[in-house]
Amino acid sequence: MIRNCWKHYHTPGSLDQAIELLNRYDGRAQVIGGGTDLLLEIQQGRKPPVEAMVDPSRIAGLGEISQDAGHIVIGCAVTHARIVRDQRIVQHGTCLVEACGVIGGPQVRNVATLAGNVAHALPAGDGTIGLLVLGGEIEISDADGSHWMPLADAFLGAGKSVIDHHRALLSRLRFKPTGQLEGSAFFRIMRPQGVALPMISMAACLRLDENSMIESARIAVAPAGPVPSLAEAAMEALVDKPATQEQFSKASEAALSNMSLRSSKYRASQEYREEMVRTHLPCILARAAERAATGYAEPQGVGQ
Amino acid sequence: MSILRMNINGKPVELDVPESRYLSAVLREDLGLTGTKIGCNEAECGICTVLVDGTPVNSCIYPAFRAQDASVETIDGLSTNGELHPLQQAFLEHGAVQCGFCTPGLIMTSKALLDEKAAASESVTAKDIKIALKDTYCRCTGYQSVIHAVLQASGQDIPPYIPETRSPGQVVGKARPNPDALAKITGEARFTDDYVFPGMLYARTLRAGIPHARIISIDTAAAHALPGVHAVLTHKDVPGRNLHGLVSFDWPVLCRDKVLYAGDAIAIVAADSEEIAARALELIRFEYEELPAVTSAIDAVGPGAPVLHEGRPDGNLLKHIKVNKGDVEAGFGAADLVVDRTYRTPTVEHMFLEPECAIAVPAAYNPAEFAGPLDPNAVRGETALHAKTTIYVGSQIPYLDRDQVAAALDVEPESIRIVATLMGGGFGGKEDVAGQIHVALLAQATGRPVKMLYSRQESLLFHPKRHATLIRIRTGATRDGKLTAVQATLYGDGGAYASLSEKVLTRATTHASGPYDVPHVKVDCFAAYTNNAPCGAFRGFGVSQSCFAVESNMDILAQQLKIDAIELRRINALDVGSVTCTGQLMKESVGLNECIEKVDLDMRGEDFRWSWEEGRSRFAWGVAIGYKNTGLGGGAPDKASAEVEVWLDEETEPLAEVRTSSAEMGQGLPAVLAACAAEELGLPAERVRVLLGDTDYCPDGGPTTASRQTFISGNAARLAARKLMQQLQSAGECSSTDLAELIAAARNSGTQMLARYEYWAPKTQPLGSGGDMHFAFGFCAQAALCEIDLDTGAVQVRKVIAAHDVGRAINPLTLEGQIEGGIVMCIGYALTEHYIQEQGIPWTNVMARYKMPGIKHTPEIVSHIVEHDTSTGPYGAKGVGELPSIPTSAAITNAICRATGVRVRSLPVDQDELLRAIRSGADEVQLGWGDREPIPAVNLGGTQ
């Protein structure tokens, strides 16, 4: 176990300063969110120690949740705890609250960030999955400026995102808040034993039309491959269909036929994962549909 | 180095410290605020929680410079002007402080919750507490007292949960917080790592990392040469006996010829800083020839297995332990039904929250030589002169540590002093020598104090675990439910070194027919050496394992005979007049039937159903009963010495001190000893101090194990106090029982105001002799209400009703703490815990890979106390430390079987396996979480 993971700790006051620092260290510095994943990776030898950490938590503007014309925007320094408390996201990004609300425990959620969760690029990062079905986007800032890109395109492989953490910063995240007749839900099964990753998690965001037909759907099941991904077959199966239990079950079967869930040692068997999708994905779809229909959401499972 | 400015507990501080620091290190090392404790350095256990701008964070992973200009609150500043914060007061009253190591973290996390709720004018619920404290762990209390304490501190009127017991004497029988709890809740209590001696060096150990090898060479030259390194030692540098152990001396201090498990110690380093010591380890060149690893007990004693301890005539068979009573063939012949199953229990880790730490201070140490303050009145601690080589360590067996250190250093035991510091949990995992000998060697080699602190990860690798077992048990009964025969064959994985395997597996064997009157019993147990982690003492000591098997079979029997599960236990329960499977006639103190009655009555309350469905969950009750010896037994000399001294304070009021070297690890021993002495002396308990574990001042109390300390040391304290009274009465020629008068009268006679008593427990006989193996047994019955989620297979324990026969409750508050903590520990055994090893390499190499129960797993616990006196225990008491942690696992799997029809035969319960079994209609599950293979076939009698 390595305890000294960094030598210099910087808390720049602006995005420009942060990027300038990264470039000055020329590959020997790294952006840090809460550190609750990153520091363990370094301590346990899976990532090398760095000369400097660049901590964006004091950058003005990056510690806020704001809402502009089309999006709810979450700064990279915003912690899971803040997201869970935000009433705008509770109502218009419910699956994100349900996802961020089960990451680690209270102490971890008080420092860990959604940006960090996304940057870690694990196949089943809870916050990431929640943001994915909301059609989330991330903003990458570097010396050339800032640009937005779909979250769905941000992953290259397990643990690998498009972001070069030695030169660039995931500065903000955003999603279109769910509107009328739109609702979302997230669900996760964790073992009570020593496995830090979920057995399986799933999220859905549905939009209905006035006739309770499904206008659009975004669904994710994880882990279902090396990168977080949408369950396209299940989504297609739902479009223009009524929001009924029968359709939700059919969509879940479509999801299963088009994804390869695997067994992970000590974590979950393939059969269990398939059975959980079969059993629970219809429920999550139903919950999202109900929230769409009623326009009201009470997040479930937060903190448990 | 850079300037860090913070406000700590209301005071501004400015420090010039390296930017690489974590907040926990700044608090503990730079500011000397040692109230915040480190349990894992992985942001996993939460005990290091402090508040940064009012928000609870894990300080062990919080970069210090992130707290620039922030306001930090720690336990050290919580009580103001000597006034306790309501949380501290409540924790004290509710007995929510046992070993105290997690207490600062629990209190600070709770404080944030209370502050948040108060600011929102909302009341606090138990659900809020379970969410807020979800990742702040405690291994001792079982959390029920914590929940109540936090509710009380939030302003609700919650009396401490104290079970009903017999009416108390003057002191004995009264509920009272443990005297050292106060220091623990203020953060003033110091554990070994909180001591810092001027001139102190930091030590680290190079561990093998491979399970089985022949050592070729160990080259330490490069490590020696590293600047800042003061000593690098190998086996060559051990002047005396290079072996230690608790029964046989087979465990190398530093390996010479072979490596027998991945945690074996190859070399030790002392350096100016831990960082330098760690770098030095990397420079040691260790060459070896890897050998095939033996990783299961059955394989170890089978043909062709490589022999670990070469030259042992029995190879890897440590011992074949036998129990024979009657004629099992005849017994099974007479049975109408025979149930025959094989069960598997896992290797389990103590997970005491305080990782091992030892400090050795060399003889003739003078702190002033290292620019430290010198206090001529200090008898120990950083400001004291140290005449002898002194080891500061939280150990369960101080006198044995002294002997083992002396043997390794080749000196007389009296030239070594052990100062037993507070222990942040033990549970049996701190009986074997950890760093004691290593630091002594390094202190001698360097002439400086040397501290060896194990990281959590090193602790996981190094220390002895609970034995994994395979148990095939065959239970025969007649149609009316009367047991006729029990035959069992057990394989116990003892790991690389003997430790206490022989004793643990003897206990498993002698308890393998359960607390029942069975006419014919045959048990064969094979204790084996393997290249897995050594296994030793762990609360329950073999009975945890065999009780799981016995009580699982009993429920299968009940179901097949269509007899009520409780009735079946009642029909066969041991009582006065029964003969155990080892031939011991139970003459007194068998409260088992009363335990069963109390649980039955409570469980069946109103509208009782064994099992029902609600939504997508199934609920069911499961029962199990158990027993556990008090004391070492088996013919081992079981004794403790205690000294009691009295004097008058400045107001001429009497004060007393009890001194004995037994260990307090949170179980509440000081309160018990104080009560025993106080009762005899006619003093209030608050006037009796207790000094534990200093081999220069305290006579030998024997090991803190086998649930023996209340009985043995309690008697020693009681009888020393009585002897002192008699001494004072005769010296002052005064027959008063008023201590102040006695002291005044005796003072002029020049008599010593102290008495020492060596108490010997009633003699016991070795196994096989047919005599009394133990002088007392505790008994219990437990019923667990479990909820099984039919959609996920997840199991939750909702309620436990328990009854424990403790002989006599000396302190009902600390007794209840043992019961709740034991039950929750056994819930972990059943549902969450497994120390997984793969071909001798631990997969469980970080705390994140080992989950003990957290507060969200706490059921409602209802506790009944049964008191069937022993004639020889202090005021009738017998032991209870282990008893509550024994039957809960079977109660849980019995509930699961009742709810789902699925019999779980391997622990811990894997919801993946359970769910698939439920869906497929299978009637059993063989794989516990972490198992990769089905349960191997076991031949009865043992020949494989």
Residue-wise pLDDT for B216-247, tens only, equals 999 999 999 999 999 999 999 999 999 999 99
B648-687 residue pLDDT tens: 998 889 999 999 998 889 999 999 999 999 999 999 999 9
Neighbours of A239 (CB within 10 A): 13
Q: What is the pLDDT of residue B112?
A: 98
For A273-289, letters b (16+ CB in 10 Å) and e give bbbbbebbbbbbbbbbb
Q: What is the pLDDT of residue B445?
A: 98
For A3, A131, A153, A196, the CA distances from A186, given in Å and listed in that order, are 35, 10, 21, 18
For B414-440, letters b (16+ CB in 10 Å) and e give eebbbbbbbbbbbbbbbbbbbbbbbbb
* Dist CA B804 CA B677 (whole Å): 25
Helix (H) / strand (E) element for A276: namely: helix A270-294
- Is a pLDDT exceeding 90 seen at residue B736? no
Which residues 82-101 in chain A show a CB within 8 A of chain B?
none
**Mutation to test the A interface, candidates B42, B58, B845, most A Cβ within 10 Å:** B58
B455 CB neighbours in chain A (<8 A) are 1
Q: What is the pLDDT of residue A293?
A: 96
* Dist CA B789 CA B465 (whole Å): 31
Residue B695 CA neighbour count, 13 Å, CB half: 27
- Is a pLDDT exceeding 70 seen at residue B944? no
A191/B contact by beta carbon, under 8 A: yes
Which of A1, A55, A104 is opposite residue B455, by nearest beta carbon?
A1
Question: Between B812-831 and B144-153, two packed helices, what is the crossing angle to 10 degrees?
Answer: 120
Do the Cβ atoms of B252 and B242 come closer than 8 Å? Answer: yes
CB spacing of A9 vs B849 below 8 angstroms: no
CB spacing of A40 vs B457 below 8 angstroms: no
Q: Which amino acid is at A280?
A: H
Do the Cβ atoms of B447 and B370 come closer than 8 Å? Answer: no
CB spacing of B919 vs A275 below 8 angstroms: yes
B171-222 residue pLDDT tens: 999 999 999 999 999 999 999 999 999 999 999 999 999 999 999 999 999 9
This model's pTM is above 0.95: yes
* Dist CA B92 CA B89 (whole Å): 5
For B620-649, letters b (16+ CB in 10 Å) and e give bbbbbbbbbbbbbbbeeebbbbbbbbbeee
- Is a pLDDT exceeding 80 seen at residue B612? yes
Which residues 216-245 in chain A show a CB within 8 A of chain B?
none
Do the Cβ atoms of B498 and B287 come closer than 8 Å? Answer: no
Residue B694 CA neighbour count, 13 Å, CB half: 11
B61 CB neighbours in chain A (<8 A) are 35-36, 39-40
Looking at the DSSP assignment, which residues form a beta bridge with residue B389? B416
CB spacing of B916 vs A275 below 8 angstroms: yes
Pairing of strands B389-393, B416-420: parallel
Which of B56, B843, B916 is opposite residue A110, by nearest beta carbon?
B56
The torsion angles phi and psi of B240, rounded to 5 degrees, stand at -110, -130
Which of A35, A194, A304 is opposite residue B131, by nearest beta carbon?
A304
Helix-, strand-, coil-residue percentages of chain A, each rounded to 5: 35, 25, 40
Terminal Cα-to-Cα distance of chain B (whole angstroms): 65
Q: What is the pLDDT of residue B453?
A: 98
Any idea which residue has 């396996």 for tokens? B913
A280 CB neighbours in chain B (<8 A) are 791
For A37, B48, B642, the CA distances from B353, given in Å and listed in that order, are 22, 11, 29
* Dist CA B223 CA B206 (whole Å): 11
Can you read off the two tokens belonging to residue A7? 């030598």
CB spacing of A303 vs B131 below 8 angstroms: yes
Q: What is the pLDDT of residue B737?
A: 86
Neighbours of B265 (CB within 10 A): 21
For A104, A119, A252, B900, the CA distances from B794, given in Å and listed in that order, are 19, 31, 22, 12
- Is a pLDDT exceeding 90 seen at residue B80? no
Rg (CA), chain B: 27
Encode B731-785 in three state secondary structure: HCCCCCCCHHHHHHHHHCCCCCCEEEEEEECCCCCCCCCCCCCCCEEEEEEEEEE
* Dist CA B420 CA B120 (whole Å): 46
* Dist CA B831 CA B84 (whole Å): 37
B843 CB neighbours in chain A (<8 A) are 266
Q: Considering only the C-alpha atoms of chain B, give the largest distance between any 2 of them, rounded to a whole number of Å.
A: 85
Rg (CA), chain A: 19
Looking at the DSSP assignment, which residues form a beta bridge with residue B11? B8
3-state secondary structure of A118: helix
Do the Cβ atoms of B592 and B779 come closer than 8 Å? Answer: yes
CB spacing of A3 vs B22 below 8 angstroms: yes
A46/B contact by beta carbon, under 8 A: no
Question: CA of B835: which chain A residue's CA is closest?
Answer: A194
- Is a pLDDT exceeding 90 seen at residue B495? yes
Q: How far does the CA of residue B791 sit from the closest CA of chain A (Å)?
A: 7
B676-724 residue pLDDT tens: 999 999 999 999 999 998 999 999 999 999 889 999 999 999 999 999 9
- Is a pLDDT exceeding 90 seen at residue B943? no
Which residues 245-304 in chain A show a CB within 8 A of chain B?
266, 268-269, 271-272, 275-276, 279-280, 303-304
CB spacing of B49 vs A32 below 8 angstroms: no
Q: Which amino acid is at A104?
A: G
For B259, B546, B551, B870, the CA distances from B591, given in Å and listed in that order, are 48, 21, 18, 10
B274 CB neighbours in chain A (<8 A) are 3
* Residue B69, Ramachandran bin (φ over 0: left; ψ between -120 and 50: alpha; else beta): left
Nearest CA to A219 among A208, A230, A229, A228?
A230
CB spacing of B20 vs A5 below 8 angstroms: yes
Complete DSSP assignment for B321-388: EEEEES-HHHHHHT-SEEEEEEEEE--B----SS--EEEEE-TTB-GGGGT----TT-SSSTTS-BSS
**Percent of chain B whose predicted confidence (pLDDT) is above 90:** 94
Neighbours of B323 (CB within 10 A): 24
Q: What is the ipTM of this complex?
A: 0.97
B58 CB neighbours in chain A (<8 A) are 36, 107-108, 111
B914-938 residue pLDDT tens: 999 999 999 999 999 999 999 999 9
A5/B contact by beta carbon, under 8 A: yes
Query: Which runs of consecutive H residues, i.e. helices, occur in B249-294?
Result: 274-282
CB spacing of B20 vs A6 below 8 angstroms: yes
CA A137 to chain centre: 11
Question: CA of A302: which chain B residue's CA is closest?
Answer: B131
**Mutation to test the A interface, candidates B3, B44, B66, B913, most A Cβ within 10 Å:** B66
A195/B contact by beta carbon, under 8 A: yes
**Mutation to test the B interface, candidates A193, A277, A300, A304, most B Cβ within 10 Å:** A193
Provide the residue-wise pLDDT of chain A in tens; the chain has 304 residues: 888 899 999 999 999 999 999 999 999 999 999 999 999 999 999 999 999 999 999 999 999 999 998 999 999 999 999 999 999 999 999 999 999 999 999 999 999 999 999 999 999 999 999 999 999 999 999 999 999 999 999 999 999 999 998 899 999 999 999 999 999 999 999 999 999 999 999 999 999 999 999 999 999 999 999 999 999 999 999 999 999 999 999 999 999 999 999 999 999 999 999 999 999 999 999 999 999 999 999 999 999 8
Length of chain A: 304
Q: What is the pLDDT of residue B87?
A: 98
Contacts of B510 (CB under 8 A, 6+ apart): B323, B523, B580, B581, B582, B767, B773
Q: How far does the CA of residue A195 sit from the closest CA of chain B (Å)?
A: 6
Question: CA of B796: which chain A residue's CA is closest?
Answer: A192
pLDDT band for B942, please (50, 70, 90 cuts): confident
Do the Cβ atoms of B497 and B366 come closer than 8 Å? Answer: no
Pairing of strands B337-345, A72-75: unpaired
* Dist CA B44 CA B40 (whole Å): 7
Do the Cβ atoms of B521 and B485 come closer than 8 Å? Answer: yes
3-state secondary structure of A79: strand
Q: What is the pLDDT of residue B652?
A: 85
- Is a pLDDT exceeding 70 seen at residue B249? yes
Q: What is the pLDDT of residue B748?
A: 81
Do the Cβ atoms of B522 and B490 come closer than 8 Å? Answer: no
Can you read off the two tokens belonging to residue B661? 């070297």
Which of A40, A110, A193 is opposite residue B851, by nearest beta carbon?
A193
The predicted model gives B484-495 an average pLDDT of 98
CA B449 to chain centre: 28
The predicted model gives B130-154 an average pLDDT of 98
CB spacing of B63 vs A276 below 8 angstroms: no
Q: Which amino acid is at B493?
A: D
- Is a pLDDT exceeding 70 seen at residue B59? yes
Nearest CA to B622 among B898, B924, B827?
B898
Q: What is the pLDDT of residue A31?
A: 96
Nearest CA to B201 among B281, B277, B265?
B277
Neighbours of B689 (CB within 10 A): 16
For A231, A237, A244, A256, the CA distances from A249, given in Å and listed in that order, are 14, 10, 9, 11
